[in-house]
Amino acid sequence: MLFSVRHTTTFRYEPAVRESVMEVRLQPRSDGEQRCLNFTLQVDPAANVMQYHDFTGNSVHHFDIAGSHSLVKVTAQSTVEVQSVPPPRVADSGDWADLDALVTAGDHWEMLLPSRFAHSSEPLEKMAQQLKCERRANPLTLLVELNAAIYSLFAYVPNSTKVDSPIEEALEARQGVCQDFAHIMIALLRPLGIPCRYVSGYMFHRDAGEKDRSLEGASHAWVEALVPRLGWVAFDPTNNLVGADRHIRVAIGRDYADVPPTRGVYKGEAESELSVAVTVSPADSVVPESITPSFVVRSRPVLARPVARVEQEQQQQQ
């Protein structure tokens, strides 16, 4: 299926700031069953945009806006083809010995180690015991069960955590957003020797009958796990989905720290406002010119030295 994606991020500052340096990961990947057919990135105020690929092959665009400005608007538009694949079957997958052989033969160590947001803790260990998160049955069966368990045990509550919230907050409150659910699933599985990676992207919401919990109009996050004989398989614990025929992959990493949609710094002491508007639709549909932001985040001025470099990072994994 062909999808059209438009992602607009707007930063407003009061008073104006003196310089902004930013990098964005907004270009969908071209690998597996997905192809990014075209991509454009517009920046206002105009800036010279450079591009490189990070260590996992994600496209990263970066730019520097010099001089006084009170607004930065970044609009990414893309057309993406996603091939539909049948749901994975246990009969087609391998066992734990097959997984160990696959890991030994490949270079997957980065997706097996603890990371900034996906690591062990006392609340996580209690969760692992509750869910009997151990090597049993076969890898695919365990993955499907764990995906469903996180969906059942945790309430999806938009804006209940922040971009830098540790998973302990979601574990203790039994609620969070897709970023939290993906991190929890990854942290539970890596100690079992299952390579897992965090995926940042978008999800297409067909209609109300789908009963998706994730928000329409925002970006999304889920997990890919390495399954013997099947390769990397998508698991979405927010919506209890296996497979990714409605998911559009933008970036992959060890966790969210590797793949924020926007990250940057600015010089100045300003009150800032971040707003995000996302549309994902069939490529042949008409997309309205004006879209209401899915969320708005405001922050108070940062009091610092005469020249302050203030970090700004966009939380979009709702």
Which CATH number is 192's domain given? Answer: 3.10.620.30
Q: How many domains does the chain have?
A: 2
Residues 117 and 239 both lie in one domain: yes
Q: Which of 214, 231, 258 is the last residue of a domain?
A: 258
The CA distance from 22 to 45, in Å, is 13
Q: What is the pLDDT along the chain (318 residues), one digit of tens a residue?
A: 999 999 999 999 999 999 999 999 999 999 999 999 999 999 999 999 999 999 999 999 999 999 999 999 999 999 999 998 899 999 999 999 999 999 999 999 999 999 999 999 999 999 999 999 999 999 999 999 999 999 999 999 998 999 899 999 999 999 999 999 999 999 999 999 999 999 999 999 877 556 789 888 889 999 999 999 999 999 999 999 998 789 999 999 999 999 999 999 999 989 999 999 999 999 887 766 666 665 566 565 544 343 444 556 554 455
Indicate whether 318 belongs to any domain. Answer: no
Residues whose CB is less than 8 angstroms from the CB of residue 90 and which lie 6 or more positions away in sequence, other chains included:
138, 140, 141
3-state SS assignment for residue 75: strand
> So what's the pLDDT on residue 309?
47
Q: What is the pTM of this model?
A: 0.92
